């Protein structure tokens, strides 16, 4: 079931009107009007990740970030919220951004949390090995855009034979770049998907691989 139907159903199951839900969101520092909630329930547009996470906290439902078909689930369809809760785990989204540009210093403070199905998480390292961060900059466009949220598998510390997109620490900055090992020199190529940025080459010893990007989410604008 699509988001607009689930949101309206979950709100009514909680016994809240649109103005009452708006008030509770304001208590969580999310300035959302009843008119905005109405537009979400009509399907005019979707709430941001932060607003949706706050709604889920208020309504006692789960925010399914990796599913294209279900963004919000509740127990109103015959399954209890407690049963659904056991199927999900929360991944921390850090306040610091990961740079697709000149580089940013890391920030370990938790901004909010995203819920993913446990079955999916186990395929990607488990919740203890995953962290979410926001992308800042345009060097990885068109694949990763500014303000995208990426999920990093911290357990992957080596570049796979085919390469991939990784979070790396270089000169005390946290970057998101496409890495590929040069088979001739055994050095690593640090690539940007945006052709306006040059490809760099350095020794693997000069960088610290923080993890591999295994998922990304984007708020449509």
CATH of 91-217, one of 2.10.109.10, 3.40.190.10, 3.40.1390.10, 2.60.120.260: 2.10.109.10
pLDDT number for residue 101: 55
**Structure tokens, 221:** 């604008």
Tell which wins on pLDDT, 122 or 102: 122
Contact between 218 and 162 (Cβ < 8 Å):
no
pLDDT, tens only, 190-218: 999 999 999 999 888 888 998 999 998 88
Residue 70 pLDDT > 60 = no
The CATH 2.10.109.10 domain(s) of the chain lie at: 91-217
CATH 1.10.260.40 domain extents, the chain: 3-85
Question: Is the pLDDT at 58 greater than 80, yes or no?
Answer: yes
Percent of the chain at pLDDT above 70? 79
Residues shown for the chain: 221
Question: Band of the pLDDT at 90, cuts 50, 70, 90?
Answer: confident
Please report which confidence band the pLDDT of residue 160 belongs to, taking 50, 70 and 90 as the band edges: confident
* Average pLDDT across the chain, whole number: 79
Q: Taking the complete model, does pTM exceed 0.85, yes or no?
A: no
Residues ≥6 apart with Cβ < 8 Å to 62: 56, 72, 73, 84, 85, 87, 88, 115
Q: Report d(CA 85, CA 61) in Å as an integer.
A: 8
The CATH number of 3-85 is which of 1.10.260.40, 2.160.10.10, 1.10.3720.10, 1.20.120.80?
A: 1.10.260.40
Q: Say whether pLDDT at 2 is over 60.
A: no
> pLDDT per residue over 129-146, tens digit each?
888 888 988 999 999 998
Distance CA 64, CA 71 (A): 5
């Amino acid at each position: 079931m699509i988001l607009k139907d689930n949101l309206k159903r979950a709100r009514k199951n909680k016994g809240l009107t649109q103005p009452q839900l708006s008030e509770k969101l304001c208590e969580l520092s999310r300035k959302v009007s009843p008119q905005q909630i109405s537009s979400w329930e009509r399907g005019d547009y979707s709430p941001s990740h932060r607003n949706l996470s706050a709604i889920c906290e208020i309504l006692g439902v789960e925010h399914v970030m990796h599913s294209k078909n279900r963004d919000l689930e509740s127990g109103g369809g015959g399954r209890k919220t407690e049963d659904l809760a056991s199927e999900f785990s929360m991944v921390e989204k850090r306040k610091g951004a990961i740079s697709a540009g000149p580089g940013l210093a890391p920030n370990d403070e938790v901004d909010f949390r995203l819920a993913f199905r446990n079955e999916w998480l186990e395929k990607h390292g488990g919740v203890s090995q995953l962290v979410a961060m926001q992308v800042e900059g345009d060097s990885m466009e068109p694949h990763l855009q500014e303000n995208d949220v990426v999920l990093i598998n911290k357990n992957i510390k080596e570049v796979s034979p085919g390469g991939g997109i990784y979070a790396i620490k270089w000169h005390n900055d946290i970057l998101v770049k496409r890495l590929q090992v040069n088979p001739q020199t055994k050095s690593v190529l640090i690539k940007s998907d945006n052709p306006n940025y040059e490809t760099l080459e350095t020794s693997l010893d000069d960088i610290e691989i923080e993890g591999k990007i295994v998922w990304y989410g984007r708020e449509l604008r």
